[in-house]
Amino acid sequence: MTVSLNISCSATGPWTAAKDVYTIPQTTQYPDEFAYIATFHPELSSTGLVTSYNVDTLEGLSALERDDHQYQPHFIVIGG
Protein backbone atom coordinates (compact mmCIF):
# COMPACT_ATOMS: atom_id res chain seq x y z
CA MET A 1 0.00 0.00 0.00
CA THR A 2 1.32 3.43 -0.87
CA VAL A 3 0.57 7.01 0.09
CA SER A 4 -0.09 9.08 -3.02
CA LEU A 5 -0.43 12.87 -3.28
CA ASN A 6 -2.22 15.12 -5.72
CA ILE A 7 -1.41 18.84 -5.58
CA SER A 8 -3.54 21.88 -6.41
CA CYS A 9 -3.46 25.60 -5.67
CA SER A 10 -7.21 25.48 -5.11
CA ALA A 11 -9.56 23.15 -3.25
CA THR A 12 -11.54 22.71 -6.47
CA GLY A 13 -8.54 21.94 -8.70
CA PRO A 14 -7.17 21.46 -11.20
CA TRP A 15 -5.11 18.70 -9.57
CA THR A 16 -1.83 17.13 -10.64
CA ALA A 17 -1.61 13.43 -11.39
CA ALA A 18 -1.17 11.25 -8.32
CA LYS A 19 2.44 10.70 -7.25
CA ASP A 20 3.43 7.86 -4.91
CA VAL A 21 5.48 9.34 -2.04
CA TYR A 22 5.67 6.57 0.56
CA THR A 23 5.22 2.81 0.76
CA ILE A 24 3.78 1.57 4.05
CA PRO A 25 6.23 -1.15 5.09
CA GLN A 26 3.83 -3.14 7.27
CA THR A 27 1.48 -3.82 4.37
CA THR A 28 4.36 -4.79 2.08
CA GLN A 29 6.09 -7.14 4.53
CA TYR A 30 2.98 -8.72 6.06
CA PRO A 31 0.13 -9.46 3.65
CA ASP A 32 -2.43 -9.87 6.48
CA GLU A 33 -1.94 -6.27 7.64
CA PHE A 34 -3.64 -3.17 6.28
CA ALA A 35 -3.32 0.57 6.91
CA TYR A 36 -6.21 2.95 7.56
CA ILE A 37 -7.08 6.47 8.77
CA ALA A 38 -4.21 8.26 7.07
CA THR A 39 -4.18 11.79 8.50
CA PHE A 40 -2.05 14.80 7.59
CA HIS A 41 -0.78 17.10 10.36
CA PRO A 42 0.55 20.29 8.69
CA GLU A 43 0.59 22.07 12.06
CA LEU A 44 3.39 19.79 13.33
CA SER A 45 6.14 20.74 10.87
CA SER A 46 7.16 23.55 8.58
CA THR A 47 9.66 21.41 6.64
CA GLY A 48 7.63 18.45 5.46
CA LEU A 49 4.19 16.94 5.79
CA VAL A 50 3.76 14.95 9.01
CA THR A 51 1.44 12.04 8.30
CA SER A 52 0.04 9.39 10.61
CA TYR A 53 -1.65 6.10 9.86
CA ASN A 54 -2.84 3.07 11.79
CA VAL A 55 -2.21 -0.58 11.04
CA ASP A 56 -4.44 -3.53 11.84
CA THR A 57 -4.40 -7.19 10.94
CA LEU A 58 -6.80 -9.66 9.44
CA GLU A 59 -5.56 -12.22 12.00
CA GLY A 60 -7.86 -10.84 14.67
CA LEU A 61 -7.20 -9.85 18.25
CA SER A 62 -4.54 -12.51 18.88
CA ALA A 63 -2.02 -10.72 16.62
CA LEU A 64 -2.59 -7.45 18.48
CA GLU A 65 -2.20 -9.19 21.83
CA ARG A 66 1.23 -10.46 20.72
CA ASP A 67 2.40 -6.96 19.75
CA ASP A 68 0.34 -4.10 21.14
CA HIS A 69 2.73 -1.52 19.62
CA GLN A 70 1.43 -2.59 16.23
CA TYR A 71 -1.93 -0.99 16.97
CA GLN A 72 -0.51 2.46 17.83
CA PRO A 73 -0.44 5.26 15.23
CA HIS A 74 2.66 5.42 13.02
CA PHE A 75 4.10 8.83 12.10
CA ILE A 76 6.21 9.71 9.06
CA VAL A 77 7.41 12.94 7.45
CA ILE A 78 6.89 13.27 3.71
CA GLY A 79 9.20 15.66 1.90
CA GLY A 80 11.07 18.40 3.65
Q: In tens digits, what is the pLDDT along the chain, a chain of 80 residues?
A: 788 888 899 999 999 999 998 888 877 777 788 888 889 899 998 888 899 998 887 876 666 666 666 678 889 998 86
Q: How far is CA 51 from CA 5, 9, 41, in A?
A: 12, 20, 6
Domain holding 10, by residue range, is: 2-78
**Number of domains making up the chain:** 1
Q: Are 8 and 14 in contact (CB under 8 A)?
A: yes
What is the pTM assigned to this prediction?
Answer: 0.69
Distance between CA 59 and CA 63 in Å, rounded? 6
